[in-house]
Structure 1
Amino acid sequence: MIVKTAELKRLEALYEQNGNQLVFLYGKKDSEKSNLMKEFIKDKRFFFYHARRASEKAQLAMMGDEIARQYGVHLQEQTYREYFKRVKSNGPSKLVIVIQEAHHIMKKDETFWEAIVELKERKLYPGPVMIILTSSSIVWAEQTVLAEHSKMKQAFSDVHKMTDWSFLDVVRAFPEMSVSDTVSLYGVLGGVPGYLSRWNRKKNFKQNICDLVLTEGGYLYEAAENIISAELRELAVYNTILSTIASGKDKLNDLYEETGFSRAKISVYMKNLAQFDIIEKQQSVETGGMDQAKKGVYRISDTFVNFWYRFVYPHLSDLQILSASDFYDKYIAKNLDAYLNRYFIEVCKEYLSLLNQMKRLPIDISKMGSWIGKNGNIDIIAKSTDRRMIVGLCNWEKLVMTVDMLEELKKTMALARVSADHIYLFSAKAFDPQLVQLAKEDATLELIDMREL
């Protein structure tokens, strides 16, 4: 079981506060809300209910059965007000009430929310209580519960969206792995705790991909399409759009020409995917050469969805015929390093952010991103408020980072009209001896290898 310490500490701090608390915790299905709840309530008095997809009447009956069974009471009526009157902690300690996947109730029955508010206001249960509502429905949470004028939003003591883990979190969870192997893991599964907890530490990278992703019945075999279909209709349209973006056709006009959908239709579906944290619009860091930057570029932001639509979805016919091992060798192995370079860039950005927090950089970074050009990209541009700049180049794929690669970076910097005070070169494998010598002679040039990472 993987539980992030910071998430647990956040809940413990809320629990220690005086009075009653009403907490809303939401995030994707595999953000491991269940494990967090298990860890949080294990030494406390609690009532836990997992809401199902059910009718109003069936939902009431199921919760009533669990209340009656846990507290040994006879319920006079089947209402949420009655249920919350009958809960108890059997002592002075604060009672914790967890309603998991609460959207299954709240979408259909307004009386549940009314009872929750009364419970928080001590109208149903006199003792101290901490109420936690969780949901895996991100779209519902953000469009309904957290809408600008939502009365529900105002009632919560705390609202928290569970996000994916950072690379550092993944490193800490897999201390036995090399940094290189952890980058590969991170570039496929991202920082999703529910995925990471299924990774078999005794097997190598290929074996895990074959078992989890490429074998029918594997935990991630249908995960990507399930993520989309859980909240969005017309999976066929979304499949088409996502596979097109994953293939490198990442502008609206490219999507229009490739899919045959109208621009208006594409825009609507792209907006839906963005709200669901599946895609994002890439924004270049602003420079003097924005006329040379590509605009309107999209990419898949969900790491595993990106992997699936890049390597697996286009070849599903062969996945049915080939063995998982042969499929991996044919379609994944030869292109994996090129794919992983994007995630190595994200790791390098996180590294710079950590150094910045520790005041170990020559500038104080206030903004960091990439520059996507019509004729070349700059992996990292980090700016300070006084306009000083660090430029970074990240090499995951090539065996050796060379002086020629540095010179190519400088040409792209000229197009972007960027003047760097310092250049950081990151290489997953090695540096050319000539580049090493150059770095010794130039104090503004920094070489970072895997040992340093």
Structure 2
Amino acid sequence: MLTGREQETAFLENHYKRTGSQILVVYGQRGVGKTALLTSFTEKKQTLRYSAGNCSSREQQYLWGRELRSRGKEIAEYPSWWELLECMTIQKGETTADKKVLIIENFQYLLKGDTLFLQELIRFLKEKKEALLVILTTYASGWVENSMISKVGNLAFSVSGFLKVKELPFSAMRKIFSDYTVQESISLYATLGGLPGLWRLLYPQNSAEENLIRLLLQRNSFLPELMIKWLSEELRETAVYDTILATLADGRHGKLNDMYAHTGFSRAKISVYLKNLMELELVEKVLPGTYEICNAFVRFYFCFLFPHQTSERTEGSTFYEKYIREEYNDFQLLTYRRICQEVLQGRFRTVELWNSRQGKIYFLCREDTGRKIVVDYSGTVCYTSKDYDVLQASMKREHVTADSILIFSENGYEKTLTEGTVQILVHSVDENS
């Protein structure tokens, strides 16, 4: 079983064991591990696969039929959807009683023009004697969550379940790459996020810094170009979207009014584009009126690579030293906050973000007993008495009280902090991994 995918695997197995045929929709952003999950799930099952292309229905039927003929199947040059499904799943003289799995990748392209494919698939499963588990996959999460139901209408009632494959948590990276230190793991997670499709590109024998330089900063690095390609496929008016993403990556313009002042775009226009970016899971609203880039790889690109496209051409370790090293601790602090949130949500009944007037974000947590805990964090640098003084001033100014104060720090803390009257607990994000 894949590390960190126990719940998703159980969901798939549960539907596979049900009597009769089912249709599942499995979706998640590119690189999140949908293919690896389904490959692991179908390892000992009779599995059929087809990957749809972005073309008309007639061209789709032609290409699918041609692929089947290349496998030795007999089918017309321009087959119907029914003929394709029948040719794909039924073999003459076959006696196996095991349920087959049919995986159709990028299924959104099959519904681009109309819903006839889904209608025929539902009719085919109702009339077919043998049970079949059909898994429809797509990277278009925003389309599934916001547009699919209105597109297919009542046909959605024939879908047995929806499974969103989310990014793997930091704890999964710690298990998979156990030879890395906590700080190295945080550095990698800050750039690659929870996308195992990108983790596979790492060389475990190399340091985190060496991996980042090799994957992102060498002249032949393909990941930055791939990111540009993905964005251009999903977004029109890329100049506007790039401007908004670059503005958010700056870290000082996360509020709508700040974006308006910085970009010159109208507030209404910015709101529309932010909505589209949130549907693509590139941006999220973390607090009322405050937005952040939530895709780690996109954030790295717009923090470090995008602003220096016209700079003197440097690459590799030279680029890292010139543009990244001094800024990287601040860059990964947002990721560290997200990792802390992952740990806290496993421990406390409620976990809320609290944005102080000075712009620092803290956590307010409550236990089942009602005890209140304020949580601060310093990332991979030492937590100092100055950090604590800022926290105390913020709590006093905004009348926040706490039974305990919890500090996350991977590089220790000043010993004088233990001399206060409030109970202070120091924690590492790795203690729950």
* TM-score, scaled to structure 1: 0.87
How far does residue 216 in structure 1 lie from its aligned partner after superposition? Answer: 4.2
CA change 1:35–1:147 in 2 (3 A) is same
In 1: Cα distance, 2:386 partner to 2:3 partner = 45
Task: Say which of 256, 262, 269 aligns to 1:265.
Answer: 269
- Asked if 2 retains the 8 angstrom alpha-carbon contact of 1:389 and 1:421, the reply is yes
Task: Say which of 274, 287, 296 aligns to 2:278.
Answer: 274
How far does residue 395 in structure 1 lie from its aligned partner after superposition? Answer: 1.2
How far does residue 410 in structure 1 lie from its aligned partner after superposition? Answer: 1.3
- Residues 191-206 of structure 1 mapped to structure 2, 5 A cutoff: 191-206=194-209
CA change 1:69–1:378 in 2 (3 A) is closer
In 2: Cα distance, 1:246 partner to 1:82 partner = 50
- Asked if 1 retains the 8 angstrom alpha-carbon contact of 2:3 and 2:172, the reply is no
- Asked if 2 retains the 8 angstrom alpha-carbon contact of 1:378 and 1:412, the reply is no
- The corresponding residue for 2:403 is 421
Q: Work out whether 1:408 is the aligned partner of 2:412.
A: no
In 2: Cα distance, 1:310 partner to 1:268 partner = 23
In 2: Cα distance, 1:380 partner to 1:350 partner = 12
CA change 1:82–1:428 in 2 (3 A) is same
Task: Say which of 316, 341, 363 aligns to 2:309.
Answer: 316
In 2: Cα distance, 1:333 partner to 1:344 partner = 17
In 2: Cα distance, 1:443 partner to 1:410 partner = 11
Query: Over aligned residue pairs, what C-alpha RMSD do you find?
Result: 2.4
Q: Work out whether 1:390 is the aligned partner of 2:382.
A: no
In 1: Cα distance, 2:242 partner to 2:359 partner = 29
- Opposite residue 328 of structure 1, the aligned amino acid is Y
Please identify, of 426-435 and 308-317, the stretch whose mean Cα deviation from structure 2 is larger. 426-435
What's the secondary structure of 1:430's corresponding residue? coil
Deviations 1:279-330 (A, max 9, x none): 12222xxxxxxxxxxx522111111111111111111123x71122111111
- Asked if 1 retains the 8 angstrom alpha-carbon contact of 2:339 and 2:429, the reply is no
Q: Work out whether 1:88 is the aligned partner of 2:90.
A: yes
How far does residue 19 in structure 1 lie from its aligned partner after superposition? Answer: 1.4
Q: Work out whether 1:184 is the aligned partner of 2:187.
A: yes
CA change 1:8–1:326 in 2 (3 A) is same
What's the secondary structure of 1:261's corresponding residue? coil
Give the unaligned 5+ runs of structure 2.
Answer: none
CA change 1:371–1:17 in 2 (3 A) is same
How far does residue 258 in structure 1 lie from its aligned partner after superposition? Answer: 1.3
How far does residue 71 in structure 1 lie from its aligned partner after superposition? Answer: 6.6
How far does residue 227 in structure 1 lie from its aligned partner after superposition? Answer: 3.7
- The corresponding residue for 1:289 is none
In 2: Cα distance, 1:74 partner to 1:252 partner = 56
- Residues 41-440 of structure 1 mapped to structure 2, 5 A cutoff: 41-70=42-71, 72-75=73-76, 78-86=79-87, 87-88=89-90, 90=94, 91-121=96-126, 123=127, 125-147=128-150, 150-247=153-250, 248-283=252-287, 295-318=288-311, 321-354=313-346, 356=347, 365-384=348-367, 387-396=370-379, 398=381, 400-436=382-418, 438=419
In 1: Cα distance, 2:98 partner to 2:72 partner = 16
* TM-score, scaled to structure 2: 0.91
Equivalent pairs counted in the alignment come to 426
How far does residue 401 in structure 1 lie from its aligned partner after superposition? Answer: 2.2
Higher relative contact order (CA 8 A, sep 6+): 2
- The corresponding residue for 2:5 is 5
What's the secondary structure of 1:317's corresponding residue? coil
In 2: Cα distance, 1:184 partner to 1:147 partner = 41
Please identify, of 112-121 and 220-229, the stretch whose mean Cα deviation from structure 2 is larger. 220-229
- Asked if 2 retains the 8 angstrom alpha-carbon contact of 1:3 and 1:35, the reply is no
Please identify, of 378-387 and 30-39, the stretch whose mean Cα deviation from structure 2 is larger. 378-387
- Opposite residue 282 of structure 1, the aligned amino acid is V
- Residues 436-447 of structure 1 mapped to structure 2, 5 A cutoff: 436=418, 438=419, 444-447=423-426
CA change 1:416–1:225 in 2 (3 A) is farther
CA change 1:55–1:378 in 2 (3 A) is closer
Please identify, of 326-335 and 87-96, the stretch whose mean Cα deviation from structure 2 is larger. 87-96
- Opposite residue 58 of structure 2, the aligned amino acid is K
How far does residue 97 in structure 1 lie from its aligned partner after superposition? Answer: 0.9
- Asked if 2 retains the 8 angstrom alpha-carbon contact of 1:281 and 1:298, the reply is yes
In 2: Cα distance, 1:172 partner to 1:36 partner = 17
CA change 1:367–1:407 in 2 (3 A) is same
CA change 1:75–1:46 in 2 (3 A) is farther
Deviations 1:201-256 (A, max 9, x none): 12222222222112344242124433432222110000111111111211111111
How far does residue 148 in structure 1 lie from its aligned partner after superposition? Answer: 9.9
- The corresponding residue for 1:361 is none
In 1: Cα distance, 2:35 partner to 2:358 partner = 47
In 2: Cα distance, 1:391 partner to 1:190 partner = 26
How far does residue 45 in structure 1 lie from its aligned partner after superposition? Answer: 1.6
In 1: Cα distance, 2:75 partner to 2:257 partner = 64
- Asked if 2 retains the 8 angstrom alpha-carbon contact of 1:240 and 1:259, the reply is yes
How far does residue 3 in structure 1 lie from its aligned partner after superposition? Answer: 6.5
CA change 1:79–1:280 in 2 (3 A) is same
- The corresponding residue for 2:40 is 39
- Asked if 2 retains the 8 angstrom alpha-carbon contact of 1:370 and 1:378, the reply is yes
